[in-house]
């Protein structure tokens, strides 16, 4: 941008160059609008060798230039042509070289399918966030299903294609058809009911959900949320084969496996028995060749190992240690014999010492000594008893000589008073006293009737 000088007398207006103006307008447009949707008809479509696409988008009263660069153009599924009614997601910009206002296109879709496409994308994103499309949830298909369930129209081309493939590839498989409408308002509830019934019965090994091609609106029953949830809830693996290869539905993302067409869905679950039977001889030949090669390699390896074993046989490596073991064993035997002889001699010496100091010998000597002492003790006791007996006899004779009993034998008696005192004199009693008189044999209890003393007589 250029501006006038600040000196007095000069022009003070701000003056833009064309480049500066276009650049400013471009920034203003891009920042003011951002991404937006525009609907109209394509005209003046050009495809230069660069891969970019340029066209005009018009309605009955106006038109705007559009640029679809190569990176985004590759993502367009349906080829564009003049006269197509489309809906664009684009940002407003300006081609500064010519000063042309234009749209930089990010996405193109047919105008009639736009609302359905947005609903499809929104439902897909929501179900994906819930994990309904997660790969770890997908179940493996049976290798050779005995019964194949087909959910489709009973009169459509899809069921004929499936039956044709089954009869051609896998005639052993039985087909159970769950007839449903595949288009219109009644289609989605019928499909949900068929999936629920097939899951509850569990009489099929796999389910095919198929129909032929059509527009997005024709296939909309397979973009129903309830259909997707019924597929996920099914206890039986589900293969979707809806439309043609370019058609993609929510059911395809929810199913355990997607096939491009109904025929492709049938081929996914039906092994080709004819091809397998034809391949058996080749497989057997390859198997025999590989087994022979492995056997030959194993035989060569075994021969090599036998040669190495012959050169490095463990027996050869053990010869020296075995000889060393024999020598060591002999030395050990001699050492043990010497040790045994020494211990034998030592035990004999201890035996002799033990015999000399044996308690038995000492016990025999003590026994002999005890017997001798016993005999001596008996002799001494006999002599002592004899002497004591003689002494007792002599004392008895002496005692007998002075014993009152002898006196009593001679006719004398011993009188005692009531206090057991011996009455020695008559004057110690009075008449009436009771006396006890001991005789040589027996005793008399007497009463004193009279007392006679030398000087006179006392009586009662």
pLDDT digits (tens, 9 = 90+) for 105-142: 998 887 766 567 778 888 999 999 999 999 999 999 99
State whether residue 53 is helix, strand or coil: strand
State whether residue 159 is helix, strand or coil: helix
196's tokens: 């629920």
Mean pLDDT over 6-10 rounds to 54
- Is residue 8 predicted with pLDDT exceeding 60? no
pLDDT digits (tens, 9 = 90+) for 422-460: 888 888 888 888 889 888 788 888 988 888 887 655 554
pTM above 0.85, yes or no: no
- Is residue 293 predicted with pLDDT exceeding 60? yes
Instruction: Tell which residue, 258, 243, 164, has the closest CA to residue 208.
Output: 258
pLDDT at 11: 63
Give the model's confidence band at 4: pLDDT under 50 very low, under 70 low, under 90 confident, else very high.
Answer: very low
pLDDT digits (tens, 9 = 90+) for 196-253: 999 999 899 999 999 988 777 788 899 999 999 999 999 999 999 998 877 789 999 9
pLDDT at 13: 81
- Is residue 9 predicted with pLDDT exceeding 60? no
pLDDT at 112: 64
The DSSP code sequence of 188-234 is HHHHHHHHHHHHHH---SEEEEEE----TTTTGGGG-HHHHHHHHH-
Least confident of 79-93, 139-153, 314-328, 379-393: 314-328
Give the model's confidence band at 68: pLDDT under 50 very low, under 70 low, under 90 confident, else very high.
Answer: very high
Q: What Å distances lie between residue 356 and 148, 168, 200, 305, 349, CA to CA?
A: 109, 115, 106, 73, 11
pLDDT at 349: 87
> Distance between CA atoms of 151 and 162, rounded to whole angstroms?
11
pLDDT at 19: 87
Give the model's confidence band at 365: pLDDT under 50 very low, under 70 low, under 90 confident, else very high.
Answer: confident
What average pLDDT does the structure give for the chain?
85
pLDDT at 324: 81
Mean pLDDT over 341-346 rounds to 90
> Distance between CA atoms of 148 and 350, rounded to whole angstroms?
101
Residue 328 and residue 320 in contact, taking contact as beta carbons nearer than 8 Å = no
- The percentage of the chain sitting over the pLDDT mark of 70, rounded to a whole number, equals 92
């Amino acid at each position: 941008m250029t501006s006038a000088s600040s000196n007095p007398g000069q022009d003070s207006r701000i003056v833009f160059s064309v480049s500066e103006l276009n650049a400013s307008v471009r920034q203003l447009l891009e920042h003011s609008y951002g991404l937006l949707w525009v609907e109209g008809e394509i005209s003046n479509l050009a495809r230069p060798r660069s891969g970019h696409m340029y066209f005009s988008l018009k309605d009955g009263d106006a038109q705007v230039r559009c640029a679809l660069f190569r990176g985004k153009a590759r993502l367009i599924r349906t080829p564009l042509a003049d006269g197509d009614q489309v809906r664009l997601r684009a940002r407003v910009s300006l081609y500064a070289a010519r000063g042309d206002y234009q749209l930089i296109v990010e996405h193109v879709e047919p105008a009639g399918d736009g609302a359905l496409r947005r609903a499809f994308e929104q439902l897909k994103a929501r179900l994906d966030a819930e994990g309904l499309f997660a790969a770890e949830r997908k179940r493996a298909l049976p290798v050779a299903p005995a019964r194949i369930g087909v959910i489709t129209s009973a009169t459509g081309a899809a069921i004929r294609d499936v039956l044709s493939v089954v009869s051609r590839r896998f005639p052993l498989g039985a087909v159970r058809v769950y007839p449903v409408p595949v288009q219109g308002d009644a289609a989605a509830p019928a499909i949900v009911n068929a999936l629920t019934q097939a899951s509850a019965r569990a009489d099929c090994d796999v389910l095919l959900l198929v129909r032929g091609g059509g527009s997005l609106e024709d296939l909309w029953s397979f973009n129903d949320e309830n259909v997707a949830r019924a597929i996920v809830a099914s206890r039986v693996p589900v293969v979707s084969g809806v439309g043609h290869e370019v058609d993609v539905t929510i059911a395809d993302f929810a199913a355990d496996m997607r096939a491009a067409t109904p025929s492709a869905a049938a081929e996914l679950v039906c092994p080709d028995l004819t091809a397998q039977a034809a391949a058996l001889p080749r497989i057997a030949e390859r198997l025999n060749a590989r087994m022979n090669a492995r056997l030959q390699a194993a035989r060569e390896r075994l021969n090599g190992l036998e040669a190495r074993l012959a050169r490095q046989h463990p027996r050869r490596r053990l010869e020296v240690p075995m000889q060393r073991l024999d020598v060591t064993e002999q030395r050990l035997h001699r050492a043990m014999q010497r040790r045994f002889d020494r211990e034998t001699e030592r035990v004999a010496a201890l035996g002799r010492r033990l015999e000399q100091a044996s308690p038995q010998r000492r016990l025999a000597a003590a026994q002999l000594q005890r017997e001798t002492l016993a005999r001596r003790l008996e002799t001494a006791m006999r002599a002592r008893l004899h002497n004591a007996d003689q002494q007792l006899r002599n004392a008895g004779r002496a005692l007998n000589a002075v014993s009152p009993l002898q006196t009593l034998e001679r006719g004398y008696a011993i009188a005692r008073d009531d206090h057991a005192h011996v009455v020695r004199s008559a004057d110690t009693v009075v008449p009436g006293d009771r006396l006890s008189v001991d005789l040589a044999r027996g005793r008399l209890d007497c009463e004193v009737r009279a007392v006679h003393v030398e000087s006179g007589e006392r009586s009662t």
